[in-house]
Amino acid sequence: MPSFPSSSPKLPSGYRLLRLEAVDSTNAEARRRAAAGEPGPLWVWSARQSAGRGRAGREWRSEHGNLFASLLIGLSCPLSVAGQLALLAGLVAYDTIAKLVDEETRGQLLLKWPNDVLLGGAKVAGMLLESANGEGDKRSVVVIGTGINLAHHPEGLPQPATSLAAHGATPSPVAVLETLAATTDVWLRRWQEGAAFQSIRRAWLDRAGPTGRLLRVRLHNEEAEGLFAGLDSGGALRLLMSDGAERRVAAGDVFFGSR
């Protein structure tokens, strides 16, 4: 098994790095550190994960050579506002990948609500936002987990996956984490702990493609199908239904439909 990269990424001022050869999941480790009193901001980076997770507890296949990293950060805002980071995380991953690929590949990137990054129509990156521990009405501690398929991607999934290597791009995990950390810092500063969320929302929409695309949304106990009509002011997905009514979705799995 290849060893962990010997070089270390350069992080923005104020951020620290925890490097691990193997872990169950970087999000789980970040949450354990938070429970032990770690205030952040701390990046947790591992060469391998034995129990990587996506949304709703689904497995995130963690092959060596891909990127698995989580940022633990304390915020001076309530969890209800910190939830806006779900959109910001997708924006960060999109911009990170865009900086590491050529122009032709960049043109195939697309954001899918809330924070999946697609490349050529297949998933290349996914994010998982979790609360580490709330500290009251005005403070929150969150973990932003990022998985990017660099060298490998799983086959046979309900939603097709791909990797940067499949598109001819071969950045190292060190270079990707360095870019990810710098891009995260830029967008966190722009977000201003919720004060400038509308700029995040507009930037997300700029990367999501035109409205009118047919979407299928899997909810807790049903499925809904409608046309992508953008996001509401809080970041919820807007669906235009066949009867002309608009439905807003705050949580669910989104799949592109076919006409």
State whether 76 and 178 are in the same domain.
yes
- Report how far residue 44's alpha carbon sits from residue 95's, in angstroms, rounded to the nearest whole number: 20
Residue 153 placed within a domain: yes
**Domain for residue 190, yes or no?**
yes
With cut-offs at 50, 70 and 90, classify the pLDDT of residue 2. very low
For residue 121, what pLDDT is reported? 94
Strands 67-75 and 246-249, sheet pairing: unpaired
- Alpha-carbon distance of 49 to 13, in angstroms, equals 27
Residues 135 and 177 in one domain: yes
What's the CATH number where 84 sits? Answer: 3.30.930.10
Instruction: Give the range of the structural domain holding residue 228, as residue numbers without chain letter.
Output: 214-256
Say whether both 202 and 219 belong to one domain: no
Tokens of 103: 């122009």
Shared domain check, 60 and 124: yes
Alpha-carbon distance 149 to 60, whole Å? 10
DSSP codes joined into one string, 174-209: HHHHHHHHHHHHHHHHHHGGGTTHHHHHHHHHHTS-
Query: What pTM was estimated for this model as a whole?
Result: 0.91
CA–CA dist 259, 255 (Å, integer): 13
| CATH of residue 246 | 2.30.30.100
Which pLDDT belongs to residue 5?
Answer: 58
The helix/strand/coil state of 17 is strand
Per-residue pLDDT, 69: 96
Are 182 and 242 contained in the same domain? Answer: no
Structure confidence at residue 158 (pLDDT): 74
Clarify whether residues 38 and 131 are in a common domain. Answer: yes
Give the pLDDT mean for 186-208: 98
Q: How many domains does the chain have?
A: 2
Output the six-digit token pair for 181.
């950390």
| Pair (252, 132) in one structural domain | no
CA distance 256 to 111: 12
